[in-house]
A = this chain, B = another copy of it.
Amino acid sequence: MTTIAPASAVALQPTTDAELEQLLAAAQTAAAPLAALRPAERARLLDAVADRLDAAADQLIPEAEQETHLPGARLRGELKRTTFQLRLFGEELRDGGYLDARIDHADAEWPMGAPRPDLRRVRVPVGPVVVFAASNFPFAFSVAGGDTASALAAGSPVLLKAHSGHPGLSRLTAEVVTSALREAGAPDGTFALIAGTAAGAAALRDPRVKAGAFTGSIPGGRALFDIANSRPEPIPFFGELGSNNPAFVTEAAASQRGAEIAQGFVGSFTMGAGQFCTKPGTLFVPAGYGMVEALRDAALPPAAPLLNERIQSGYTDVLANLQSNPRLTVLAQGAGPLADPPGPTLLLTTAADMLSEPHALQTECFGPTAVVITYDDESQLPELAETFEGQLTATVHGTDSCQVAELVEILARKAGRVVWNQWPTGVSVTYAQQHGGPYPATTAAGSTSVGTAAIERFLRPVAYQGFPQHLLPEALRGDNPLGVPRLVDGRREA
């Protein structure tokens, strides 16, 4: 294994224009050979990166602890998730379903009114992608996170814009990724780290870059989205921005297990010091069922340091603003709610107040704060749900006899994931996961940034009409040498 220099030895300097030009040229050069690899060969690259990251854990974790203030156990779990994710995309490649391969044989009698030519369609990589790392998951949504894994799996080279919150870890991780790829035989230019806001924006503007991915704030994500779309050649920009993640407790659920729900909610909104994009920011509870009291009396966890100074000051600004809103009162609060580290805060208001001023009361407060809202009658819940913009998640705590079909229908229209009797904070990496949602949750509601379907973001379809076998991509040849699942003449092959 290559020896990794201690991160402190070399700071992460902003990428210069000349360096960026070199990296963009290398990414463009890598695009064709990376795309030409068989899916199983790219799977081997992802496995190599995962193996090397696992092996480097004892160097990576201390650096992450130091830079993010997150506990070691959480970081080790996150690294495990990250390498699992890389390997899961490898499995996806070996399966081949992601190619959505389709073959229509020529058909002189095709009832459209004209003969059907031989048409074969497969997904190909879009080309170089710039990925903007997040601060709150320094492994799973950063250098070797889901965006990188899915773009590389698709066959698209990655320029990774490091997050300034963990520069040393970013550099260390990038060195592991780069050397693993090199040793596994990936084309030069398959992956590179860049640093600095200007370099990130310049990369996104560059005509060689064909897509962008981002996890972060609404203003930051929107600014990059606007850059991507105002290019002479606009490109897709997959931004995961902000979400309030409302949760609704029915009367029956409050009756049956109000205390348990209150405890679960406190655990969820304070998890990771409230720095999850899926943190439940609003909890609707029925008035008069003892839930307000249970929440008031719940044991709040101790203050925990936030990721960095910018997050800390942003958090206290938003919280101070919320606390000054006359519609909100403090329901429960840890010691030093505006101190560093901040104790958790629960604010309280009513459904009527939320309906009067939904936008202000639904502001995302990134950190350990949430708002509890009392309602008088379950029939208000659909109207309350309608006040929300697009969300990553929406949660209902109910019982099997609750009449919540309308509420669930509204929430499924607003959110990418609806959750029943659980909490949204965990985002499992699976085949059926959907981590996305209508704006401002994301800039691309049709996509997910977690789960195997995340690979689709970095692919586009190409049809081959009338081609001889030897010029077809392997996935489209008659003998199906890759053994991928296909739709042939409209029917799924066994």
Residues of A within 8 A of B (CB): 32, 36, 77, 80-81, 84-85, 91, 95, 97, 100, 102-104, 110-114, 116-117, 119-121, 124, 126-127, 210, 225-226, 229-230, 233-236, 389-390, 400, 404-405, 408-409, 412-413, 415-422, 424, 426, 428-434, 436, 438-440, 443-446, 448, 451-453, 456, 459-468, 470-471, 485, 487, 489-490, 492
| Inter-chain contacts of A233 with B (CB < 8 A) | 389-390, 438-440
Quick check: A465 and B81 within 8 Å, CB to CB? no
Neighbour of A114 across the interface among B100, B424, B426, B487, CB < 8 A: B426
Give the residues in chain B near A424, CB-CB below 8 Å: 465
Neighbouring B residues of A120 by C-beta, 8 Å: 432
The answer to whether A417 touches B448 (Cβ under 8 A) is no
Assuming A116-B428, A225-B234, is B121 touching A466 (CB within 8 A)?
A: no
24 pairs of residues in contact across A and B, judged by CB atoms under 8 Å: A81-B114, A91-B490, A97-B487, A114-B428, A116-B428, A117-B426, A119-B428, A124-B412, A225-B229, A226-B229, A233-B438, A234-B439, A234-B443, A235-B439, A400-B470, A405-B471, A408-B471, A412-B464, A417-B462, A420-B468, A431-B487, A432-B463, A446-B456, A452-B490
Contacts of A448 in B (CB 8 A): 461
Once the chains are docked, how many angstroms separate the CA of A448 from the CA of B460? Answer: 10
Complex Cα spacing A230 to B77, Å: 40
Known: A97-B487, A417-B463, A420-B464. 7 other contacts (CB 8 A): A32-B413, A117-B426, A124-B413, A233-B439, A417-B462, A418-B465, A431-B489
State whether A418 and B453 are in contact (beta carbons under 8 Å apart), knowing that A428-B117, A439-B234 are contacts in the complex.
no
- Min CB–CB distance A363 → chain B (angstroms): 15
Q: A430 and B466: CB pair below 8 A?
A: no
- Asked if B467 contacts A420 (CB within 8 A), the reply is yes
Residue of B nearest to A126 (CB): B445
The 10 tightest CB contacts between A and B, nearest first, are A434-B463, A102-B432, A121-B432, A80-B113, A119-B432, A417-B463, A104-B432, A229-B229, A420-B467, A419-B465
Option from B113, B117, B121, B124 in Cβ contact (under 8 Å) with A84: B113
CB contacts (< 8 Å) of A460 on chain B: these are 416, 436, 438, 445-446
CB-CB under 8 A for A463 and B416, given A84-B113, A119-B433, A236-B444: yes
Q: What is the CA–CA distance of A426 and B84 in the complex, to the nearest angstrom?
A: 46
Copy number in this complex?
2
A446 contacts B421, CB within 8 Å? no
Partner of A465, one of B417, B436, B445: B417
A428 touches B461 (CB 8 A): no
Known: A415-B462, A460-B445. A110 touches B430 (CB 8 A): yes
- For A439, what are the chain B residues with a Cβ–Cβ distance below 8 Å? 233-235
Q: Which of B416, B459, B487 contacts A462 (CB 8 A)?
A: B416
Return the chain B residue nearest A78 by Cβ.
B113
Q: How far is the CA of A490 from the CA of B453 in the complex (A)?
A: 11
| Closest residue on chain B to residue A399 by CB atoms | B468
A103 to B114 alpha-carbon distance, docked (Å):
39
Whole-angstrom distance between the Cβ of A229 and the nearest chain B Cβ: 4
A479 CB to closest chain B CB, in angstroms? 17
Q: For residue A79, which residue of chain B has the nearest CB?
A: B113
Do A466 and B432 touch (CB < 8 A)? no
Residues on B with C-beta less than 8 A from A110 are 428, 430
Is the beta-carbon distance between B490 and A431 smaller than 8 angstroms?
yes
Q: Let me know if B116 and A465 touch, CB within 8 A.
A: no
Question: Considering only CB atoms, which chain B residue lies closest to A91 in the complex?
Answer: B490
Which B residues touch A104, using CB under 8 A? 428, 430-433
B433 and A32 form a contact (CB under 8 A): no
Query: Which chain B residues border A95 with CB–CB below 8 Å?
Result: 490
Quote the shortest CB–CB distance from A60 to chain B (angstroms). 16
- From B97, B103, B236, B422, give the contact of A466 (CB < 8 A): B422
Cα A80 to Cα B432 in complex, Å, equals 39
Neighbouring B residues of A420 by C-beta, 8 Å? 464-468, 471
How far apart sit A415 and B439, CA to CA, in the bound complex (Å)?
30
Contacts of A390 in B (CB 8 A): 233
Is the Cβ of A461 less than 8 Å from the Cβ of B405? no
Q: Within the complex, what minimum Cβ distance (angstroms) separates A403 from chain B?
A: 11
Known contacts A80-B113, A430-B119, A444-B236: A492-B97 contact under CB 8 Å: yes
CB distance from A36 to the nearest CB of B (A): 8
Nearest chain B CB to A68 CB, angstrom units:
18
Question: Which chain B residues lie closer than 8 Å to A465 at the CB level?
Answer: 417-420, 422, 424
A405–B464 Cα gap in the complex (Å)?
13
- Chain B residues near A405 (CB, 8 Å)? 471
Query: What residues of chain B lie closer than 8 Å to A433, measured between beta carbons?
Result: 104, 119, 121, 463
